[in-house]
Structure 1
Amino acid sequence: MKPIKSIIILLIIVVTSFSCTSDSTNEVIDFVDLEATVKTDVSYGNDEFQTYDIYLPAHRDSDTKTLILIHGGGWTSGDKKDMNTFIEFIQKDLPDLAILNMNYRLVDETTEAYPMQINDITDVVNHFNANLEEYQISKDFGFVGVSAGAHLAMLWSYAFDDTQQTKMVGSIVGPTNFTDPAYLENVNFTTVNLLEQLYGLELTTEFLEKISPYHQITEFAPPTILFYGGKDPLIPTSQGDLLQSKLEALGIMHEYTLYPEAGHGWEGLELLDTWSKLKAFIGANLD
């Protein structure tokens, strides 16, 4: 009987050891050090313009945040490829971030900017959230927009982000207040005619406030960084001044930079300064 009993005990030890080894092996297999991946022209809707590119960094995990880029073009033109310079900066200096570079439907004779383009951002965010498991990243993101794209980024973040998923927003020459006389009476730009073209209706003060980030911002708005040019023929400096005052009054973390000699965009040392400040702001609030 003793040999049989010894064999049974030995079998139990072997089975137990095998089970522990298998569990340990599974833990190692479940951990995957992910490689960098780029997915281009991901469709988030039925229109040809409803696509985005997503750049997923190596070694990403559930803490990896995403920066969503929104191009400019006066709401009527432009393309996600216009943000390629920012993608290069981000990949070089903030390599742990994912990047989502989106296109959106543009205004033409058959469409109106609002709410179409805001709805496109909502659809992008919904598509992003639905694919978090596939992308293997965090749900947290920030925005960087240029001109019309900056307006859309601010307006969506301030008025349409019901779950406060946005952790920061960066605006480069973005319109903020369509009731500002300095904007509506801008002699260098027929703003009223443009707005009528964009929105296709009689422009009431109530409607202009609805599409103005300045009028939609609340104390729940995310940290915001602003950049404007002192000689911008399209966007008066009051657009940045007004929003800066509102951010300060609401106690929202923010930064504001005015380049006195710059226009509607800049390059060289001013662009490097913009990226240096933007990089630090993203690092403090998103990275």
Structure 2
Amino acid sequence: MALHPRVMGPHSLQVRCRRRAARLLPLAAAMVLSGCAAVLNAATSGEGYGVVSDIRYGTGERGTYDLYIPATVTETTPLVVFLYGGSWESGDKETYLFVGQSLASDGIIVAIPDYRLYPEVRFPGFVEDAAEATARIMTTVRGGAYGMPGGPHPVFLMGHSAGAQIAGLLATNGDWLSGEGQSPSDLTGFIGLAGPYDFLPLSEERYKSIFPQETRTASQPVNFVDGDEPPMLLIAGADDTTVKPQNTRSLAARVRAQGGEATDIIYPGVDHIGAITSFATALPLADETIRDRTLLFIRERSHQEPAQ
């Protein structure tokens, strides 16, 4: 995927990414996404937002985040904390510039943290990092920093694939954010893209290593739903063979059964990678309505007008 974006048109790039991902195991599919993201990032506009890189939230090489700041920020501009996927063993924040741009150029503050990966840690190490990062980001943005006014910025957790599982746990199990000095009730919404929320029993040996037997029940977001979760927008592709769309249906059904609010949308013709590459504004690779629907969810819950 080393071609310049002007050499390969959006349709050709979409077909190649999909065909290659469909033939690969999940980790290899993550590598394909990384290659596609490099093309997308190269074509991504730098207009309408600024980036503050490598802000520290924790210790270690991966204890930092990037902050995407819209050109115009008020006290109530929404904040999205985005957690990327990669089968809990790959990924980095630099790969997702196109996601930060996609939302920040539309008037939303975006934070993308790194977190420790397997084999450095097993579950729940990466969730601990995500909770620490989210709490620190909330405090920093709401307190006013990097030229932004402080205020009651509505906070949304958003994740793709393994990142959606991690974000889903923060949204459903209040102990994670409470342990970092933040209230889970401060979350305005959760946006899950192609997330594994109800994926037991495990079949692959590497996942058995990432999720030790004694922790597996605690790894499932569906097990912590009690009706007080933030509103959820749960999206998956009907052609996803990496994470079964039933995960999305299962979490949404559990939330609604407990009296909570969850909207689940399964998009025809969209695969696992397409759920996130749909956010590219330079070379959209899948259903552009996924981005539109996400922006609408954020605006409606935060009472924000569309960016001009």
Q: TM-score range by the shorter chain?
A: 0.7 to 0.9
Are the equivalent residues in 2 in contact too, given 1:218–1:250 (CA < 8 A)? yes
Equivalents in 2 of 1:222, 1:271: separation in Å?
25
2:116 corresponding residue in structure 1 = 105
Task: Give the count of matched residue pairs.
Answer: 236
Q: 2:187 aligns with which of 162, 166, 172?
A: 166
| Runs of 5+ consecutive residues of structure 1 not aligned to the other structure | 1-34, 185-190
2:4 corresponding residue in structure 1 = none
Secondary structure of 1:245's aligned partner: helix
Amino acid at match of 2:121: T
Q: 1:86 to 1:58 in 2, by over 3 A?
A: same
Deviates more, 1:35-44 or 1:164-173: 35-44
Tell me if 1:62 matches 2:78: no
Amino acid at match of 1:240: T
2:89 corresponding residue in structure 1 = 76
CA shift, 1:269, in A, is 7.0
2:66 corresponding residue in structure 1 = 53
Equivalents in 2 of 1:256, 1:130: separation in Å?
30
Tell me if 1:87 matches 2:100: yes
Secondary structure of 2:66's aligned partner: strand
Cα distance per residue 1:239-258 (max 9 Å; x no partner): 11211211221232222111
Q: 1:263 to 1:59 in 2, by over 3 A?
A: closer
Q: 1:36 to 1:258 in 2, by over 3 A?
A: closer
2:143 corresponding residue in structure 1 = 133
Are the equivalent residues in 2 in contact too, given 1:219–1:250 (CA < 8 A)? yes
Secondary structure of 2:89's aligned partner: coil
Equivalents in 2 of 1:37, 1:270: separation in Å?
26
Equivalents in 2 of 1:91, 1:56: separation in Å?
6
Are the equivalent residues in 1 in contact too, given 2:138–2:155 (CA < 8 A)? no
Equivalents in 1 of 2:285, 2:136: separation in Å?
37
Deviates more, 1:69-78 or 1:120-129: 120-129
2:43 corresponding residue in structure 1 = none
CA shift, 1:49, in A, is 0.8
Are the equivalent residues in 2 in contact too, given 1:69–1:83 (CA < 8 A)? no
Cα distance per residue 1:206-231 (max 9 Å; x no partner): x3321111111221101111111223
Tell me if 1:155 matches 2:169: yes
Structure showing greater Rg: 1
Mapping of residues 1-287 of structure 1, within 5 Å: 38-92=51-105, 94-95=106-107, 97-108=108-119, 110-112=120-122, 114-131=123-140, 132-135=142-145, 136-137=149-150, 138-159=152-173, 160-162=176-178, 163=183, 164-179=185-200, 184=202, 191-199=203-211, 201=212, 203=213, 207-266=215-274, 267=278, 268=284, 270-286=286-302, 287=304
Are the equivalent residues in 1 in contact too, given 2:196–2:243 (CA < 8 A)? yes
Secondary structure of 1:150's aligned partner: helix
Q: 1:161 to 1:280 in 2, by over 3 A?
A: same
Runs of 4+ aligned structure 1 residues displaced above 6 Å come to: none
Q: 1:62 to 1:43 in 2, by over 3 A?
A: same
Q: What's the C-alpha RMSD, in Å, of the aligned pairs?
A: 2.2
Equivalents in 2 of 1:178, 1:251: separation in Å?
23
Amino acid at match of 1:126: A
Equivalents in 1 of 2:88, 2:239: separation in Å?
21
Equivalents in 2 of 1:261, 1:37: separation in Å?
34
Are the equivalent residues in 1 in contact too, given 2:191–2:294 (CA < 8 A)? yes
Are the equivalent residues in 1 in contact too, given 2:69–2:104 (CA < 8 A)? no
Are the equivalent residues in 2 in contact too, given 1:71–1:145 (CA < 8 A)? yes
* Matched-pair identity in %: 22
TM-score, scaled to structure 1: 0.75
1:15 corresponding residue in structure 2 = none
Q: 1:228 to 1:37 in 2, by over 3 A?
A: closer
CA shift, 1:52, in A, is 0.3
